Amino acid sequence: MEAGTSYFLGELRRAGERLARPLTVYLVGGGAMAIRLLKAQTKDLDLVVADAGDARVLTAALEGVHYVKQVRLARAYRDMHASAVLDNRDGFRIDLFTRVICRALEFGASMEARSEPYDLGSRRLTLRLASPEDILVLKAVTDRPRDMDDMATIARQGVDWQAIAEEMLGQRRTGGKFFLPVFIQSLEQLEQEFGVRVPILPRLLEEVEADLDEIEAMTRKVRAESARKRARRGA
């Protein structure tokens, strides 16, 4: 279901009335873009909370207003590794993350500092909007339909590319993953397919060489270990 701001903000207010205690949520993705007038509607909300306790409280509140946890998910949603994915009777979806998105990027102190408050009009639910820069970064890991279109929309309205570069370089090892090569592929796609100039691309291409060398070394190590195990089994 596609929904505009009046619908999903109303859903958040209803959930806020059911909260067992006050908490803060960060709105990223299409919902934040809609509030910022960068798109008309969104088919889901991506919400980030600080810890597992907040996730439990918010999930309970959403269930109290007739959202149901989903178990069978399409691969793109499974790969996001959300704390919970919930749908309501209208078919509107809320994806809830506890700090880390897709086991790849952390919504950390720098992203919190760039976020902006939004007056939801709720006594217990405090809503903050992720910055356009951080929405672009986070969309590069979700790999859902239309994410590249959204990244292009954000980039065209003007972003702080240096802030994006610093965030990506600072998180290049989050969760033990090498995300920088994947992010660069998305930036190259923005330039080649969407005609968006990405001024930080040359710098990131230089930085990624170290990652690629490390990935290659790790691959050689894994292959060598596998070969030794096969040799021992055949002895």
User: Is residue 215 very low, low, confident or very high in pLDDT (cuts 50, 70, 90)?
Assistant: low
Mean pLDDT confidence for 78-88? 83
pLDDT tens profile 169-183: 888 766 555 678 888
Q: What single letter denotes the amino acid at residue 142?
A: T
pLDDT tens profile 58-74: 999 999 999 999 987 77
The enclosing H or E element of 93 equals strand 93-98
pLDDT tens profile 19-44: 999 999 999 999 999 999 999 999 89
Reported CATH class of domain 5-234 = alpha beta
Closest CA to 131 of 116, 110, 150: 116
Closest CA to 149 of 162, 136, 160, 161: 136
Residue 129 tokens read as 């909007």
**Is the separation of the CB atoms in 23 and 124 below 8 Å?**
yes
Indicate the pTM of the whole model.
Answer: 0.85
pLDDT tens profile 124-161: 999 999 999 999 998 887 767 688 999 999 999 999 99
C-alpha–C-alpha distance, residues 1 and 59, integer Å? 20
Q: Is the pLDDT of residue 97 over 90?
A: yes
